[in-house]
Amino acid sequence: QKEVEQNSGPLSVPEGAIASLNCTYSDRGSQSFFWYRQYSGKSPELIMSIYSNGDKEDGRFTAQLNKASQYVSLLIRDSQPSDSATYLCAVGGNEKLTFGTGTRLTIIP
């Protein structure tokens, strides 16, 4: 069974610092990778998608993918209180995504 594992957290980071979220996956053939943010009581929303090895930057967010190590990460620079949420890593197969259990991030003002 395909597995996606995330650092369990919870993770607390001071405002303005860099938050680092990590995810490993078991299916070496996976081709698509996603980070979702989920506020309490809300549905998941896409933060970043990445398909190729290396870094992908979007504003304060950077996704990093290393297929050889089966590892994907999300860096949040200049963390803001509004970044406090649960972050879900998802790995794509042909027809569906497999989600990790999520990492709860709290930004401390």
Partner 1 sequence: NAGVTQTPKFRILKIGQSMTLQCTQDMNHNYMYWYRQDPGMGLKLIYYSVGAGITDKGEVPNGYNVSRSTTEDFPLRLELAAPSQTSVYFCASTGRGGQETQYFGPGTRLLVL
Q: Give the interface with partner 1 as residue ranges (CB under 8 A).
A: 1, 31-32, 34, 42-46, 49, 88, 92-97, 99-102
Question: Closest CB to partner 1 among 77 and 96?
Answer: 96
Give the residue ranges of DSSP H helices in 1-109: none
Question: To the nearest whole angstrom, how small is the minimum distance from the Cβ of residue 42 to partner 1?
Answer: 8
Question: To the nearest whole angstrom, how small is the minimum distance from the Cβ of residue 34 to partner 1?
Answer: 6
What sign does the CA torsion over 42, 100, 74, 79 have?
A: positive
Question: To the nearest whole angstrom, how small is the minimum distance from the Cβ of residue 100 to partner 1?
Answer: 6
CA dihedral 20, 68, 94, 35 (to 10 degrees): 10
- Please give the DSSP secondary-structure letter assigned to residue 82: G
Question: Closest CB to partner 1 among 79 and 103?
Answer: 103
